[in-house]
Amino acid sequence: MLLHLDTSARSRSFSRALTERFALAWRAANPGRDYVHRDLAAEPVPPIGQAWTEICDNLLRHGITEPDRYREAVRTPEQRAAWDVLEPLLAELLAADVVLIGSPMYNFSIPAALKLWIDQVTFPRMSLVGRAFVVVNARGGSYLPGTPREPFDYQERYLRDFFAGHFAVDDVTFINSELTNALVDPQIEHLAEQQRASAMSAEQRVDAVVAELSARRAGGAR
């Protein structure tokens, strides 16, 4: 299954255009496979609360690490209400073999809408080994290696560290569309040609990643 998450506050954005391109190509290359799309900006998930933390405590206290046993950690009415929110989100994530995330850079990091989702579906010692994550980033400036703003990229760095540290996943592909503000900011409009080149490169990268992942799935990998 392909789980497709959009998080941009803009209804028309670079990250949305690229994730749509990916999803359309993926579905064409993988007919019959399930597909779920969540617009986390239009329909944000709620922040975690006290009851969610209690579920985590119960998981740790009783050594429950298998996701299909998480329900055993739900004890109180408040915890059941928290579970009703997170369970469908978690079920979608566990059912997916490819997770596609569109993430514009906001203030050097990820959108709040994406962080809310991450908080809801992440539990202690949870492994998602075997799944592939594809993250499409759109950034107003350039944060590529060697650029002055490279040290301020807490978007890709955070997500890469998170997927590895919490989910034990190293199959993560980042596709970056840089310098999007060159289309609206007079101070960097001279970089518009570089922006167009970056956007084109991102589109080509999307097509290549779809082809690569589709071939791997056809070969029998999860």
Q: Identify the CATH number of the domain in which residue 192 sits.
A: 3.40.50.360
Tell me the per-residue pLDDT of 138-189, one tens digit each, with 9 for 90 and over: 999 999 899 999 999 999 999 999 999 999 999 999 999 999 999 999 999 9
State how many domains the chain has: 1
The pair of structure tokens assigned to 48 is 């975690």
Answer whether residue 221 shows pLDDT above 60.
no
* Residue range of the domain that includes 180: 2-43+94-218
Q: Is 118 exposed, middle or buried (0-12, 13-18, 19+ CB in 10 A)?
A: middle
Per-residue model confidence (pLDDT) at position 122: 97
Is 48 part of a structural domain of the chain? no
Is 160 part of a structural domain of the chain? yes
Could you list the residues known to form a binding site, using ranges.
13-15, 105-108
Is 158 part of a structural domain of the chain? yes
Is 80 part of a structural domain of the chain? no
Could you list the residues known to form a binding site for FMN, using ranges.
13-15, 105-108
Q: 153 and 81 in contact (C-beta within 8 Å)?
A: no
Is 83 part of a structural domain of the chain? no
Is 54 part of a structural domain of the chain? no
Amino acid at 2: L
Is 201 part of a structural domain of the chain? yes
Nearest of 136, 91, 95, 82 to residue 114 by alpha carbon: 136
Q: Span 125-141, mean pLDDT?
A: 95
Is 11 part of a structural domain of the chain? yes
